Structure 1
């Protein structure tokens, strides 16, 4: 008995290569082993790590194409296939339905095929989906194609950030993981044992953080601005081409700024600035449409909407776009990682579907209404982040999880 107890507390070292050492800590029956990297390897960045990260982050390119496609293609698809606004709302939102199913099955993919195999399988779903949309002559094939793309990005949304977080050193983990930005999540198949661990009281705080961040990210207007940018600009009398190009430039630029700042300034300050800025962007856009409804300041409406949309995207991409996914890959212990990721991701995709499906109806009811609703959600997000979300900058995964679980 004594010998067995002693063996459970030993540190077992396994050489990985000349520069890195892996330490396994056995913690007994209740807690599973934790993997720690020695300090010597924590700052090592190799060419293989950089290239692997860049290749894995290509999954976000597939995600970005899928999310951004419905906005500029709206008028063309409606004309070619004769779709009404309700049918197009289904087309826009069916992506998230596929993503929910893909997210639920992504853990199974990762278990059977490994991280790389799962990414490859997901890309095949995306390829088939895009081909179906490209050659569709009927609405059902168009929706099927977008559904398949959703399944693919649902799988990618789990695999990409977890893979990157696992292969990168802790001092640059935030920047590397944020390359996959807002559109990657951490998910695994829910198991009976995982559910049992998930609903223990000591993990309630972690679940609140994960679910809360995803709720405020999605219900703060992400898919309203993303899926229906063309509708927003056209209704305001602003050039669609100018607006979409400007928004794309701002998104790319601010994502790069966020990657640079995340490991210097920390997660929490960027989240607070991002949520507050998103709120301001929504208020500006909503106020512009409010003036339009009152037939006041007609010359200012287009400019105010453009500024509001750009402020929203600049703020969102700085923090709320990618950091919630980074936080999710950091805060959950290994024994609940799959179950917690499944729950949080499911909440995120449901919120994504809700926003994308309801925007058209809300916008027809009141052009200013949806943006004021989004502003209120973003404002509540600021309070939630300030009160609930911890700072995880430059902490080892085990240090983050231990400190939060203790709270």
Structure 2
């Protein structure tokens, strides 16, 4: 993009974006005015300011997780009240992924045109409508429509939140703050599991509205992504946003110049021809980003999380819903550990450790189900193999949370070049949700067919993921987004 066109985007053509750029009177004040605000009114520490922004946008992934977890504790109640078959309920469970695919297609372009904050505002509206439709459903049609709408919002959220976090975070905190995205997803899943024990499925759907109803007003109190503002040619807003994020006492001149250089070099031409995607700077991040997000879903994690109650019941656990809540709690704890480790041990190490651990756990689970069928229900070994399979499923979720759950989204948001981030991010998110839909649509049916065989398929995928990470995935720990892009060139 030329300087003239950048100026145009910052001028009259930008009027459509202005409602999403201004975030309250404090945000518009530059560093020269900060002394007038008083020390109690200004966030002076970069880490505190960025953390506040991350905690607000983290309400989106909580909504994401609640959507994923909702189908597990409600299966029996919904199928009985509305008379759904296993196949029909599988459609209900998987339709959130279909909606997310549609949202993923739009997410990159919406996020590029009206900004990261505007994109999250748009995502919140269909989420709210979808949950209301589910709560008032009298038949499967309203149930399906609500699930689709909630999924559409989730599709936008799943791309926008990790991108926003990566663009506002300092390089030394980007991994940890990026992991908050997955941590919030696990909290949302656990809340759905836990509340599902005590409230009817219709009330649970109403409670699903809460994260987005809090998110919408919260977005007015945080700044827009400075890198997006710079790309749009809004240089005054860009510097003010970055100053707010880094603290008014901090010198941001070096970071400002680095971002400006990166934006200038990537904006010389906005249209990328298909032939140019053969350049390493494009095909390599596309391959890594898409590959990690596809393999993340092919591991079968959504099938486990969506239908964990069914899996535990199949394994012989008497209180399968209570076990599911325990699974959600374990996942949250493991993700907290990842948040602490990711900027210390690095992305590659955690990905390899996570995938290798999942491979071993899935091997144990598959073998347990096979042996349980062989020995028969009358054997004394039957209960032992049931316990082993449950422990293996829990350990698989722990290993997933230690790396492959959070890090693919972090790496995707870090390595995609800024001039193709919208389109490439949409493609990567679409691929993720398409595979998630296939997994959630088939998981219930495959588990009914052969539990041991199902987990064996997931095991081979995890083993391949270890090799993929070892051969292709770069280490991005401790590097600025601009440094990462320079290395890909």
Greater mean alpha carbon deviation, residues 201-210 or residues 149-158: 201-210
User: Residues 79 and 198 from structure 1, CA distance in 2 versus in 1: closer, same or farther, beyond 3 angstroms?
Assistant: farther
The residue number in structure 2 matching 1:242 is 322
How far 1:44 sits from its partner (Å)? 5.9
Deviations, residues 157-180 of structure 1 (Å, cap 9, x unaligned)? 121111111111110011111101
Matched, 1:255 2:339: no
Higher relative contact order structure (alpha carbons within 8 Å, sequence separation ≥ 6): 2
Equivalent residue runs for 1:305-324 within 5 Å: 305-324=389-408
User: Residues 122 and 275 from structure 1, CA distance in 2 versus in 1: closer, same or farther, beyond 3 angstroms?
Assistant: same
The residue number in structure 1 matching 2:146 is 145
Equivalent residue runs for 1:6-405 within 5 Å: 17=31, 45-181=46-182, 193-194=271-272, 196=274, 199-202=277-280, 203-238=282-317, 239-294=319-374, 295=376, 297-403=381-487, 405=488
User: Residues 369 and 355 from structure 1, CA distance in 2 versus in 1: closer, same or farther, beyond 3 angstroms?
Assistant: same
How far 1:255 sits from its partner (Å)? 0.7
- Aligned-partner Cα distance in 2 for 1:68–1:152: 16
User: Residues 142 and 211 from structure 1, CA distance in 2 versus in 1: closer, same or farther, beyond 3 angstroms?
Assistant: same
Deviations, residues 312-342 of structure 1 (Å, cap 9, x unaligned)? 1110011100100000010111122122212
How far 1:107 sits from its partner (Å)? 2.7
Cα contact 1:198–1:339 (8 A) shared by 2? no
Length, aligned pairs only: 363
RMSD: 2.3
Cα contact 2:123–2:153 (8 A) shared by 1? yes
User: Residues 161 and 334 from structure 1, CA distance in 2 versus in 1: closer, same or farther, beyond 3 angstroms?
Assistant: same
How far 1:156 sits from its partner (Å)? 0.7
Ranges in structure 2 where 5+ consecutive residues have no aligned partner:
4-29, 33-43, 186-227, 229-268
How far 1:181 sits from its partner (Å)? 1.3
| TM superposition score normalised by structure 2 | 0.71
- Aligned-partner Cα distance in 2 for 1:402–1:320: 26
How far 1:364 sits from its partner (Å)? 2.0
Cα contact 1:101–1:151 (8 A) shared by 2? yes
Cα contact 2:72–2:309 (8 A) shared by 1? yes
Cα contact 2:334–2:401 (8 A) shared by 1? yes
Greater mean alpha carbon deviation, residues 194-203 or residues 292-301: 194-203
- Aligned-partner Cα distance in 1 for 2:157–2:272: 21
How far 1:121 sits from its partner (Å)? 1.9
Deviations, residues 215-268 of structure 1 (Å, cap 9, x unaligned)? 210001111111110110001111313321221111110110000000011101
Cα contact 1:270–1:319 (8 A) shared by 2? yes
How far 1:346 sits from its partner (Å)? 1.5
Ranges in structure 1 where 5+ consecutive residues have no aligned partner:
5-15, 19-42
Cα contact 1:103–1:154 (8 A) shared by 2? yes
Cα contact 1:275–1:378 (8 A) shared by 2? yes
User: Residues 350 and 329 from structure 1, CA distance in 2 versus in 1: closer, same or farther, beyond 3 angstroms?
Assistant: same
Greater mean alpha carbon deviation, residues 237-246 or residues 95-104: 237-246
Cα contact 1:126–1:152 (8 A) shared by 2? yes
Deviations, residues 17-49 of structure 1 (Å, cap 9, x unaligned)? 47xxxxxxxxxxxxxxxxxxxxxxxx9624332
Q: Give secondary structure in 1 for the equivalent of 2:271.
A: helix
- Aligned-partner Cα distance in 1 for 2:276–2:320: 46
Cα contact 1:286–1:371 (8 A) shared by 2? yes
| TM superposition score normalised by structure 1 | 0.85
- Aligned-partner Cα distance in 2 for 1:46–1:263: 14
